[in-house]
């Protein structure tokens, strides 16, 4: 009895067209809006049609309520000498 030949797999993808997901809004620190914002952010970032490849392209937190948090996070997690992040979310 012979084993069936497995179907070939591919590691490259042919992703065409524009993403149907809307770009997430800029998070302004409103805790009531965080869960929805985070969900739309991760969905948008993970969609390969958006072609987001660098950590800098993933920044969607801005505004006076989050500025000090962003500065502290950057100070703790960005290596200025090598110009790269020590952490990533994806």
3 part of a folded domain: no
Burial class of residue 44 in the structure, from the number of CB atoms within 10 Å of its CB (0-12 exposed, 13-18 middle, 19+ buried): middle
75 part of a folded domain: yes
> Model-level pTM?
0.53
60 part of a folded domain: yes
61 part of a folded domain: yes
25 part of a folded domain: no
68 part of a folded domain: yes
Number of domains observed in the structure of the chain = 1
Above pLDDT 70, what percent of the chain?
80
Domain that holds residue 64: 31-85
36 part of a folded domain: yes
pLDDT band at 12 (very low <50, low <70, confident <90, very high): very low
3 to 6, 9, 53: CA distances (angstroms): 9, 17, 41
């Amino acid at each position: 009895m012979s084993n069936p030949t497995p179907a070939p797999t591919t590691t490259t993808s042919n992703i065409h067209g524009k993403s149907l997901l809307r770009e997430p809004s800029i998070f302004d620190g409103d805790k009531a809006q965080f869960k929805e914002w985070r969900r739309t952010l991760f969905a948008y970032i993970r969609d390969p049609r958006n072609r987001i490849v660098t950590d800098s392209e993933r920044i969607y937190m801005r505004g006076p309520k989050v500025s000090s948090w962003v500065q502290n996070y950057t100070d703790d997690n960005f290596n200025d000498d090598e110009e790269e992040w020590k952490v990533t979310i994806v």
